[in-house]
Amino acid sequence: MDNNIYLQDVTISFTTKAGTVHAVNHVDLNVNSGEITGMIGETGSGKSVLGMSVLRLLAANSLISGSIIYKNSDLLQLAEKELNQIRGKVISFIPQNPDAAFDPTMKIGKQIIEGFLYHDKKSKAAGISHGIGQLQNYSFHEPQKTFNSYPFQLSGGMRQRALCAMGTVLSPKWIIADEPTKGLDAIIRQQVSQVFLELKKTANSSILLITHDLRLAQKICDTVIVLYAGTVLEQGPAGKLFDEPLHPYTCGLIDAQPHRKLLPLSGMPPSLINLPAGCKFHLRCSCRKDICCLKEPALLEVNGQWVRCWKYA
């Protein structure tokens, strides 16, 4: 039995007053263990929703179908009690927004070690020492002081790093990190990415890294998944995907980076309430053919990469 996470035909929608939001559409993915897998895509492409779905952390107005298999169990079917044994200890989710994740009335340290004390049944002293060590790992110069601080006493970047410390406190097998380097300056970003590489190497953690930072994804990821309108458009080894992107959307994302052509992608993502027929990217694609507007292409393997585009069918 492997430690991969298998998403099979995962579809997620949200019921809203304006209509049904089709946030994730028939996603099939094997997320390999022992790797850092990057998930990239524009705002609203479904990265966070997909990441949260693994531990069933979605909002109450969500509807999910398909399966998410980990070690022969479907995480979408597990009883809440069984899932609680997995949350944080086996698979942890580091959310995108530290302000919403921390209880403002509780000191940072107490929140960081809560899961550690619950799962590992260690003494409080051992928990405190472990928590302070965690803060040190995430480049806090005064870890003891931070441990005893309230969230509002830290800067946004510090809260972001404290959140990473909380999410990795139990050295979980899987870490799903949603924008863990957002708002951090270059030096701290480098240090946090180093921690992820260390976790992969020393704790044998597998990481799903959701990010807008394509340079970071290129640097530390083994595999990259490209999401658009809740659909996987491309997936492949990071080196290949960034050097020889196949999908016009991936090319657009790469060209839009400041250190590349700084050429913004034209147009806007489609409405998730009224998804377009055919290829979901066709309204913005300069390579569009007639069939693109009518029929959605399948995800096909092309030279070790997976791509959903009629150009390669």
| Residue with Cβ nearer Mg ion (39 or 233) | 39
From residue 20 to residue 39, what is the string marking binding to ligand ATP with x (rule CB under 6 A)?
Answer: -x-x----------------
**Burial letters for 103-127: b for 16+ Cβ neighbours within 10 Å, e otherwise?**
eeeebbbebbbbbbbebeeeeeeeb
| Residue with Cβ nearer Mg ion (147 or 249) | 249
Cβ 249 vs Cβ 266: under 8 Å: no
Type of residue numbered 234: E
Return the H-helix or E-strand segment holding 225: strand 223-228
From residue 75 to residue 104, what is the string marking binding to Mg ion with x (rule CB under 5 A)?
Answer: ---------------------x--------
Neighbours of 15 (CB within 10 A): 12
206 lies in the site for Mg ion, by CB under 5 A: no
Question: How many residues can be counted in the chain?
Answer: 313
Shortest separation between residue 231's beta carbon and ligand SF4, angstroms:
11
**Burial letters for 149-176: b for 16+ Cβ neighbours within 10 Å, e otherwise?**
bebeebeebbbbbbbbbbbbbbebbbbb
48 lies in the site for Mg ion, by CB under 5 A: yes
From residue 141 to residue 180, what is the string marking binding to ligand ATP with x (rule CB under 6 A)?
Answer: ----------------------------------------
270 lies in the site for ligand ATP, by CB under 6 A: no
Neighbours of 81 (CB within 10 A): 7
| Residue with Cβ nearer ligand ATP (31 or 49) | 49
Binding residues for ligand ATP, per CB under 6 A? Answer: 14, 16, 21, 23, 41, 43-49, 59, 61, 96, 212, 272
